Amino acid sequence: MSDVIISPSILSADFANLERDIKCVEDAGADWLHVDVMDGHFVPNITIGVPVVASIKKVATIPLDVHLMISEPEKYIEPFVKAGADILTFHYEAVEKENVFALIDKIKSYGVKAGMSIKPKTDVKEILNYLSQLDMLLVMTVEPGFGGQKFMPDCAEKIKTIRAMNKDIIVQVDGGINAETGKICRDYGANSLVAGSYIYRSPDIKEAVASLKRQ
């Protein structure tokens, strides 16, 4: 695996040809497959659920990086793990603060990586106490809910604080990622990049993935 984990978002894939588009990014050198789960409540869009994740698992050969942009994520941990999630990320803003540690423990109890995501307006200082328990912290550099938005550079500044507090955690970034913004995030200390439009709408998908891995 590359030092930088590239996780293409299937939100930008052709859902009528999902198996083809999964194989395409696998062949292009992707490390993980980013699966955005949206419920129309926590975010104003609806995407896919447990049955589609289970179907993806049957054809994917790389880990499923499942991002739960949903309310009450604690209710859906077991179903998504059983469907095939290898990394399960919930939103800090979707959980009562006194329940965050318990939710992290619950995810880990199933033997998968536990990730937590923060929205652009969330102060990074609020989540520093959780870093030692998490496998991954996902920094959103756009408002979650829709693909194709513009990168917010101020949000990327959070990466430096997170990396300074924890040298070992995976710091993932999602939102407006391309070769230029990806380099900004890597320079700040990110070691996983999610990209949808940049990869799937590229005329050369292999080169798009490679460009995100270049130091």
pLDDT tens readout for residues 163-209: 999 999 999 999 999 999 999 999 999 999 999 999 999 999 999 99
pLDDT for res 146 = 66
Catalytic residue among 21, 31, 36, 135: 36
Distance between CA atoms of 115 and 173, rounded to whole angstroms? Answer: 12
**Strands (E) located in 75-196:** 87-91, 113-118, 136-140, 170-174, 192-195
Active site residue 36: yes
Catalytic residue among 31, 39, 135, 174: 174
Calculate the alpha carbon distances from 213 to 6, 46, 105, 112 in Å. 7, 30, 31, 25
Distance between CA atoms of 42 and 71, rounded to whole angstroms? Answer: 5
Residue-wise pLDDT for 76-110, tens only, equals 999 999 999 999 999 999 999 999 999 999 999 99
DSSP-assigned letter for residue 3: S
Residue 1 has pLDDT above 60, yes or no: no
What's the whole-model pTM score? 0.95
Enter the tokens of residue 6. 């590239």
The strand pairing partners of 38, in sequence order, are 69
- Under a CB-based contact definition with an 8 Å cutoff, are residues 60 and 83 in contact? no
Calculate the alpha carbon distances from 192 to 18, 58, 177, 187 in Å. 23, 24, 11, 12
Residue 57 has pLDDT above 50, yes or no: yes
* Per-residue pLDDT band at 147 (split at 50, 70, 90): low
Active site residue 168: no
